[in-house]
Structure 1
Amino acid sequence: MALLGSTDIIEPPAGGWPTITPYLECMGKTDEVLSLFCHLPYIPEPNDGNNVQGAPWCYFADWQKLGQEASLRQVKGETLRLLSERAGIIDDVPPYVMGFTCGGRNNPVILLDTKLGIIYWYECPYEIKLAPARELFQDDAYDYTPENEAVWMVGCGSWAITDFFEVLKDEFRKLHFLSKSLRSVVDIYTIFPDSDKVIPVM
């Protein structure tokens, strides 16, 4: 993760974030999903737009802030789903699954399945799935979900919730994920035209 300070993570108030329910009901998610996300901490979106990356090129969703914007009708539920679920699978993500991340087309898609208690990393780097720090979720999605949903689920890196975050931490420990600055993170897996250059690290 980028080099976070004490103000870079905000904790929910005792009763949960008041901006998530009912303002994110427009996303069509279950009550259980919205209730859970009401009680999660978030990396806040700064007013200057210089957001903190929690993983390589990855912005985690600040759902309490996005709920505020939805309450003011500055953003629609369909748009929020598009930004957090990806156009190619948006119609096949069930209502009990919600995105942990939110951003443009290059932002990684990481989804929480509240029914199974697992996290899906859509288009997870092959190298991470090949030798993860924690065992991948082994159940075959075709055995428990409709085919249109299983198609994208089986291609994901999928872990139990706590195991997923251990996988992320291990990638940082092995220096496969690198903090490039106070707010940005890169990895050794993504290839760009100038990838032969040394990555400057804080």
Structure 2
Amino acid sequence: PYARDDVVVAALSSFYQFLTNMYLPSDAIAYPPEGGWGDISPDSFSAQKTDAVLNLLRHIPYIQGQIFEGTTATCFRGTGPHDVDPNKYITLIPPHVIMLAQPQERNGYYIFFDTERGMFTLCDFQDGPEPTKFSQDLDEMEGLMTHEDDEDLKEWWREFETYTIEDFFEEMKSRFRNLDLIPIEEGRVLMAKRGPFDGLKDVYREHGWPLENFKKEECLKEVQKRF
């Protein structure tokens, strides 16, 4: 089995539990049975993926609701084939990379996991790259995917902010803790920089966020009143 599976599953589970502590329902998470999700197979995918990707997707939990601004986790359970790659005009991704989350609306984000590098990448293709030290420069790389009919179709995802497994989820949690990301209801998240949301931040802090005594239900009711 893929060596990083346990690390990814544990980190993803911890992040999803964090989100249910803040705003998502506790039953929003579906955990795999012992042995993994039996309905996920190579036929589940709209494009070819490696065995490492297949094995990982059989063992991760899945969650309902937005996990980032305008972004939902991709679910690969049930009858396929499921879309495992973005539209080719957005970016090409190789078989060892999986799209774990995608935009639910126009301003959403993509989250990719590279099973060879063990790295997560967060992409907003409308705003453009904000590289980190693990991001890659396409001009300095060889052997990347290309499209025979359009030379502008490339692996653009590589240029965006990229993190190790541990750092990625700590970064995600930090943005929620600091209220750079503000849930306004159970299934919707906004970026604080998009508007004057100081009042909503105050509501979260008044209800104890991000401390253990956070009153989730009362907070969400007040947030919805004020939004």
Q: Distance in 1 between matches of 2:51 and 2:95?
A: 9
CA contact (8 A) 2:90 2:125 kept: no
Equivalent position amino acid for 2:134 in 1:
F
Aligned partner of 1:16 in structure 2 is 36
Q: Which of 37, 53, 73 matches 1:60?
A: 73
Task: Identify, as 1 or 2, the structure richer in strand.
Answer: 2
Q: Distance in 1 between matches of 2:193 and 2:125?
A: 10
How many aligned positions are there? 174
Matched, 1:69 2:82: no
CA contact (8 A) 2:42 2:48 kept: no
Task: Identify, as 1 or 2, the structure richer in helix.
Answer: 2
SS of residue matched to 2:120 = strand
SS of residue matched to 2:34 = coil
Matched, 1:112 2:125: no
Q: Which of 177, 186, 189 matches 2:190?
A: 186
Equivalent position amino acid for 1:11 in 2:
Y
Question: For residues 144 and 7 of structure 1, do their structure 2 counterparts lie closer, same or farther at Cα, with a shift above 3 Å needed?
Answer: farther
Aligned partner of 1:161 in structure 2 is 165
Aligned partner of 1:146 in structure 2 is 144
> How far apart are residue 147 of structure 1 and its match?
7.0
For structure 1, list consecutive stretches of 5 or more residues without a partner in the other structure. 45-51, 71-75
SS of residue matched to 1:16 = coil
For structure 2, list consecutive stretches of 5 or more residues without a partner in the other structure. 1-18, 147-152, 204-219, 221-227
CA contact (8 A) 2:94 2:145 kept: no
Query: Which structure is higher in RCO with an 8 Å CA cutoff and minimum separation 6?
Result: 1
> How far apart are residue 196 of structure 1 and its match?
5.1
Question: For residues 164 and 144 of structure 1, do their structure 2 counterparts lie closer, same or farther at Cα, with a shift above 3 Å needed?
Answer: farther
* Identity of matched residues, %: 25
Question: For residues 117 and 198 of structure 1, do their structure 2 counterparts lie closer, same or farther at Cα, with a shift above 3 Å needed?
Answer: same
Q: Distance in 1 between matches of 2:98 and 2:184?
A: 28
CA contact (8 A) 2:68 2:189 kept: yes
> How far apart are residue 11 of structure 1 and its match?
0.9
Question: For residues 40 and 151 of structure 1, do their structure 2 counterparts lie closer, same or farther at Cα, with a shift above 3 Å needed?
Answer: closer
Q: Aligned-pair RMSD on alpha carbons? A: 3.1
> How far apart are residue 26 of structure 1 and its match?
3.8
Matched, 1:177 2:181: yes
Q: Distance in 1 between matches of 2:164 and 2:190?
A: 24
Aligned partner of 1:101 in structure 2 is 101
Aligned partner of 2:150 in structure 1 is none
> How far apart are residue 18 of structure 1 and its match?
1.0
Question: For residues 197 and 9 of structure 1, do their structure 2 counterparts lie closer, same or farther at Cα, with a shift above 3 Å needed?
Answer: closer
CA contact (8 A) 2:136 2:158 kept: no
> How far apart are residue 105 of structure 1 and its match?
5.8
SS of residue matched to 2:174 = helix
From the CA coordinates, give the structure whose radius of gyration is larger: 2
Q: Distance in 2 between matches of 1:19 and 1:103?
A: 24
CA contact (8 A) 1:24 1:34 kept: no
Q: Which of 15, 28, 41 matches 2:48?
A: 28
